Amino acid sequence: MMKLASGILFTEKQIQQRVLELARQIETDYEGKEFVLCGILKGCIPFLADLMRKIRGDVKIALIEMKSMVDGKHAEIKFTTEMKLDGKDVLVIEDIVDTGITIDYLIKHLETEKGTKSIKVCTLLDKPEARKIDVPIHYRGFAVPNRFIVGYGLDYEESYRNLPYLTWVEP
Ligand code: IMP
Ligand code: MG
């Protein structure tokens, strides 16, 4: 049984400030390009919603779902929204990069099957101590310790996604 920690890792204000910084960086780097923010459900929801509204200029979005792991591999990638990604500059929006397995699988899938022009990764959180596969991270909100983080889209057994701040659960 896990319970919510009493402490806060990052406050709502700290998150919003960092998301604004990322948005400014992204809009500069992608200026003049036709780019698509490709969010991984469900964890990306608050982050994607805040980030896209802080980016000035045109930006498109796509949403995907990645089914849970079978034998250490992701069984399926499902595009929730119809979106042609061929020839597009795609920025993957993830809640947290932990082992790196999800992002590694997704990048390979997009490269081989979708004919994207470029693929970059933007993750709100990065847990470097947990990494098993080396993956490129182009935009990172915060590095976090090796704990089970919840809030702002991240869940523990589907709970706590609605917290506006980031915290963790403990035994
Ligand atoms: P991966 O291990 O990098 O493939 O991460 C897989 C997925 O596990 C992430 O996209 C998250 O949805 C979830 N995850 C990993 N670490 C945490 C955590 O600390 N809290 C909540 N979800 C997590
Ligand atoms: Mg996820």
Active site residue 89: no
pLDDT greater than 80 at residue 166 = yes
- 25 assigned to some structural domain: no
* Atom number in ligand 1 closest to CA 102: 4
Which pLDDT score is estimated for 68? Answer: 63
Which pLDDT score is estimated for 112? Answer: 87
- 102 assigned to some structural domain: yes
* Atom number in ligand 1 closest to CA 135: 3
**Which has the closest alpha carbon to 140: 64, 47, 49, 62?**
47
Tell me the per-residue pLDDT of 33-70, one tens digit each, with 9 for 90 and over: 999 999 999 999 999 999 999 999 999 999 999 876 65
Chain CA centroid to CA 18, Å = 14
Identify the domain containing residue 100 by its residue range: 33-147
- 165 assigned to some structural domain: no
Nearest ligand, measured from the Cα of 106: 1
- 5 assigned to some structural domain: no
pLDDT class for 78, splitting at 50, 70, 90? confident
Please give the span between the terminal C-alpha atoms of the chain, in angstroms, as a whole number: 6
54: CATH: 3.40.50.2020
pLDDT greater than 80 at residue 140 = yes
Residue 100: CA count within 13 A, CB half-sphere: 12
pLDDT greater than 80 at residue 75 = no
Contacts of 131 (CB under 8 A, 6+ apart): 97, 98, 99, 100
pLDDT greater than 70 at residue 154 = yes
| Average pLDDT over all residues of the chain | 93
- 124 assigned to some structural domain: yes
Which pLDDT score is estimated for 83? Answer: 74
For ligand 1, atom 12, name the residue with the nearest CA.
Answer: 43
pLDDT greater than 70 at residue 98 = yes
- 48 assigned to some structural domain: yes
**Which has the closest alpha carbon to 85: 68, 63, 104?**
63
pTM (2 d.p.): 0.94
Which pLDDT score is estimated for 113? Answer: 81
What is the number of domains present in the chain?
1
What torsion do the CA atoms of 25, 30, 31, 32 make, to the nearest 10 degrees?
180
Active-site option among 50, 95, 98, 126? 98
- 80 assigned to some structural domain: yes
Which pLDDT score is estimated for 90? Answer: 96
Which pLDDT score is estimated for 23? Answer: 98
In this structure, the residues whose C-beta lies within 6 A of any atom of ligand 1 are 43, 94-102, 148-150, 154
Q: What is the arithmetic mean of pLDDT over 131-149?
A: 97
Which pLDDT score is estimated for 1? Answer: 79
Alpha helices in the chain (DSSP H): 12-29, 45-54, 101-113
